[in-house]
C-alpha cells in the first residue's frame, strides 16, 4: 500500500482534521503495523508509548483516548486499502478481468491483517462498523463491474443481478466474520477464493 509519510504533512483521516506532522504520520503507520500483527485490545497507551518509543502526550496528539486511537488507526488502514485496491485495478481494461482483479486486490489489501486484529475488530463495535461499511462499498463496486461486463458482452449469459447479489452476500459474510467461523479461512483467502469462483463461473 502507498505510504502516507512521503509528504511533509498529510491530511487527517476524516474531513476537518488538521494535517499531521511527519512524526505523527510515521506513528500512525507504526500503530497500523502493530495492530494488524498483534491486535489492539490488550494494549494500553503506556504499552503503546513503550513499543513506539514515544511519549503518551505524543499519542494524545493523534487521539484523546485508547479507543479513539484504535478507531483512527482502523480508519487509516481501510482508507489506504481502498486507495490500493482502486490503484491495483485501474489499468485493467477487460471488464471480465476487472472483477477478479478487484477481488484479488481486496485480498492483497487485507492480507496484512492477522487473526488478533480481526478478533479485536469483531469485538469493537465502532471498528466493526468501519469494516462493514467498507465491505458494503466494495460490494457496490463489484456490482458496477459485473454490470459493465454484462453490458459489453464479456460475461456469459447469467442473471447479472443474481450473480451480483450472491457476490454481495458473500462479501458481507466475509466482512462480518461469518465465513471465517464457518470455513476457517481468513478474509484475504476467502476473497481470493471468491475471485477464482467468479473467474471460472461468469467469464466467457
Confidence of residue 7 (pLDDT cuts 50, 70, 90): very low
pTM of the shown model: 0.80
- Scanning the chain, the segments in alpha helix (DSSP H) are 22-38, 45-52, 56-60, 66-89, 95-110, 115-122, 125-151, 160-175, 178-183, 187-202
Q: For residue 92, is pLDDT > 90? A: no
pLDDT digits over 131-166, tens only?
989 888 888 888 888 888 878 887 776 776 777 788
Judge contact between 72 and 13, C-beta under 8 A.
Answer: yes
pLDDT confidence of residue 184: 92
Whole-number mean pLDDT of the chain? 84
Cell of 204: 466467457
Are 174 and 142 in contact by the 8 Å Cβ rule? The answer is no
10: pLDDT confidence band, cut at 50, 70 and 90? very low
Residue tagged 481486496 (cell numbers): 106
Determine contact, residues 89/105, Cβ cutoff 8 Å: yes
Lowest mean pLDDT among 33-42, 156-165, 189-198: 156-165
Where is pLDDT greater, at 98 or 28?
A: 28
* Cα 199 from Cα 204, distance rounded (Å): 9
The strand pairing partners of 203, in sequence order, are 155
95: closest CA among 163, 138, 140, 154? 154
Complete domains list, the chain, with CATH = 70-202 (1.10.357.10)
Amino acid at each position: 500500500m502507498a505510504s502516507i509519510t512521503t509528504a511533509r504533512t498529510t491530511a487527517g483521516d476524516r474531513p476537518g482534521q488538521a494535517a499531521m506532522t511527519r512524526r505523527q504520520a510515521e506513528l500512525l503507520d507504526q500503530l497500523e503495523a502493530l495492530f494488524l500483527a498483534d491486535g489492539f485490545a490488550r494494549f494500553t497507551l503506556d504499552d503503546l508509548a513503550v513499543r513506539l518509543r514515544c511519549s503518551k502526550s505524543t499519542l494524545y496528539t493523534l487521539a484523546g483516548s485508547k479507543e479513539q486511537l484504535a478507531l483512527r488507526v482502523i480508519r487509516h488502514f481501510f482508507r489506504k486499502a481502498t486507495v490500493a485496491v482502486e490503484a491495483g485495478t485501474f489499468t485493467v481494461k477487460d471488464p471480465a478481468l476487472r472483477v477478479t482483479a478487484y477481488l484479488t486486490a481486496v485480498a492483497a489489501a487485507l492480507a496484512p491483517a492477522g487473526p488478533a486484529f480481526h478478533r479485536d475488530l469483531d469485538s469493537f463495535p465502532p471498528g466493526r462498523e468501519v469494516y462493514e461499511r467498507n465491505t458494503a462499498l466494495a460490494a457496490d463496486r463489484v456490482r458496477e463491474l459485473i454490470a459493465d461486463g454484462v453490458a459489453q458482452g464479456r460475461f456469459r449469459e447469467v442473471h447479472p443481478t443474481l450473480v451480483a447479489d450472491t457476490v454481495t452476500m458473500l462479501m458481507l459474510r466475509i466482512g462480518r466474520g461469518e465465513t471465517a467461523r464457518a470455513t476457517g479461512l481468513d478474509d484475504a483467502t476467502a476473497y481470493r477464493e471468491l475471485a477464482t469462483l467468479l473467474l471460472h463461473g461468469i467469464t466467457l
